[in-house]
Amino acid sequence: MNDNISNDTPHSPSSKMTVESRFQLLVSGISDYAIYMLNPEGIVTSWNAGAQRFKGYTADEIIGQHFSRFYRPEDQQSGLPGKALETALKEGKFESEGWRVRKDGTQFWTSVVIDPIYDTTGQHIGFAKITRDVTDRRNAQEALRQSEQRFRMLVQGVTDYAIYMLSPSGEVTNWNLGAQRIKGYSAEEIIGTSFARFHTPEDQAAGLPAVALATAGKEGRFEREAWRVRKDGSRFWAHVIIDAIYNDDGTLAGFAKITRDITEKKEAAEALERANAALFQSQKMEAIGQLTGGIAHDFNNLLSVISNGLEVLPLKTAEPSDAKIVDSMKRAVNRGATLTQQLLSFARQQPLRPEKHNLNSVINGFEAVLRRAGNSSIAFSMNLAEDLQLVMVDIPRFETALLNLVVNARDAMPGGGAIEIATSNVTLAEQQIAGLAAGHYVQVSVTDTGTGMPPEVIARAFEPFFTTKEIGKGTGLGLSQVYGFMQQSEGSVGIASAIGRGTTISLYLPALDESGGVSAATEDASEKALVVDDEPDVMETAAALFRSIGYEVFTANSGTAALEILQRTKDIAILFSDVMMPSMTGIELAKRARELRPAMKILLASGYPLPALKAQHSGIDEFSFMNKPYKLAELAKKLRLA
């Protein structure tokens, strides 16, 4: 029994040797770490299995050699081994990572710890060096770094998307080139500021930026399309995605935000929607037109039977009361015939006689009639563009359409307002106005300051019998006539209106190009005459006389209207005016006209004899005069002498 029991105690020499032997065996047997000793000068004094495995040297090959041989030549030249020992001695430890060299010359990445060793008296006796091969870890870290770098380069290089990070509170923490291109801010300008600045003022006031972050934080994602604001204040339609980003412990790290400018996509979608709506409207109007034309044609046949019968009926009756009934029936037939003509106009089945015309000349000649369509509470004005291109148009139908628009404008302003007729040359893109190809057009607009129309009324405004007027105040065929006439003239009509902001209705007719053969200047080569009379029939008769001898005629039914025409039309050669008119006599008009145009010929006319006029009005002797009624020959003679 006693032979099997050790007599060693922990404090006996044999016990101490056993502990040291075990420790040496432990260190020597470690293969994952190179653990060895250096003397104070850096000479290797011990070597374990791990050192042999990592560095390739056996103990016999390396003990007694300087540890600097494990360093690369450039590190040896820079004195890095000596600095490592100095640092360990001075600070009590040296710890770093770096490249080391194996016996076969290959390099590996190491984690190195050097500790100074002291004896029991405090004497420095060398260093303990522990080296670990961490090449795999470093390679993994480098691969991760390169992957992150490539990802950053990818994100930074993307220019079609704004990709950036937000802090949990919404501050921008990074910024890519796409964000700079789309939003206009550089990284220096935007990093550290709130992303709310990209929202519109109304969205900011409604708290939508905070709602977006709260939604992303709660649901993990927020997605929306909305208006956003660039640095220069312009707006763009954006598709926005915000994703919540979490740390490994589940706490919110921030948000990843991706924004794309899809303004063009939105505009294309809206254009397609408008085109589809225009196609639907065109098809609907075409169908209504065909139906309307058929009904009007059949109704005309019925009216013809009734009208012919009414012509024969009075021959077979001698009763006065019957004659009155027949007359009433004839008037009804005439109204029915007018109605069918309006329906045929909408259906584009009215015969047209288009001719080349300058619409400015047409409107000027029709101005007096247009003014009479208004009333004293409505201001009437015209803004006619210079050098207006010629168009092919049926003048009587055009005048009817223009008069319809003025009457509608008047009815939209029961409390008074203003009407303006304007002309201009315009160039339209494809389908900019529904149904029109790209090209050059002449635009004639009638603008009022009336009640305006809501979108649902605009959508139906050209349908026959559709009206917003009270029962008995309109047939609902005015605008449908205009629509049909413009379609038949290869033009179109458009409405711009809003409740309380008035209405503008524009007519578009194709402009004749230079190959049309006649320019506006050629048509306007004849002299212009301004005919003024407050009696419509007298004015139209006088205008017809002037036209018959080759003048281009402007008409006005008052002195005020005549002065407006003179102010905007510089080349009127002759003023022909009635003397006795309300508000401003022809003599007063003539004097003011001469101040404007000293060289213009002025001819006055009146049913009163000249002596009687001289007794009541001074200054009439300054102008040529002729008595009513006058004949064409007398008028021509006076014009030569005026």
pLDDT digits (tens, 9 = 90+) for 188-223: 999 999 999 999 999 999 999 999 999 999 999 999
Q: What is the pLDDT of residue 361?
A: 85
State the residue for tokens 């220019």: 159
What architecture (CATH level 2) is domain 270-346?
Answer: Orthogonal Bundle (1.10)
Domain 526-642 adopts which CATH fold?
Rossmann fold (3.40.50)
pLDDT-derived band at 521 (thresholds 50, 70, 90) equals: very low
Dist CA 406 CA 418 (whole Å): 11
Dist CA 578 CA 586 (whole Å): 6
Dist CA 67 CA 519 (whole Å): 103
pLDDT-derived band at 11 (thresholds 50, 70, 90) equals: very low
Lowest mean pLDDT among 67-71, 170-174, 336-340, 406-410: 336-340
Taking the domains of the chain in order of start, what are their residue ranges? 2-134, 158-261, 270-346, 351-515, 526-642
Region 295-318 average pLDDT: 53
Region 425-438 average pLDDT: 86
Dist CA 205 CA 162 (whole Å): 24
What architecture (CATH level 2) is domain 351-515?
Answer: 2-Layer Sandwich (3.30)
Q: What type of residue is 180?
A: Q
Region 212-236 average pLDDT: 93
C-alpha distance from residue 64 to each of 41, 44, 129, 130 (Å): 11, 5, 15, 18
C-alpha distance from residue 512 to each of 124, 335, 386, 416, 426 (Å): 109, 37, 16, 38, 12
Q: What is the pLDDT of residue 524?
A: 43
pLDDT averaged over every residue in the chain? 80
Lowest mean pLDDT among 21-35, 131-145, 578-592: 21-35
Q: Which residue did the predictor score with more confidence, 253 or 324?
A: 253
Residue 13 has pLDDT above 80, yes or no: no
What architecture (CATH level 2) is domain 158-261?
Answer: 2-Layer Sandwich (3.30)
Topology agreement, domain 270-346 and domain 526-642: no
Residue 519 has pLDDT above 90, yes or no: no
Residue 609 has pLDDT above 90, yes or no: no
Q: Which residue did the predictor score with more confidence, 188 or 145?
A: 188
pLDDT digits (tens, 9 = 90+) for 454-475: 888 887 777 655 555 554 444 4
pLDDT digits (tens, 9 = 90+) for 538-562: 888 888 888 877 788 889 888 998 9
- Give φ, ψ of 252 to 5 degrees: -70, 120
Residue 258 has pLDDT above 50, yes or no: yes
CATH of 2-134, one of 3.30.450.20, 3.30.110.40, 3.40.190.10, 3.40.50.10680: 3.30.450.20
Residue 512 per-residue DSSP state: P
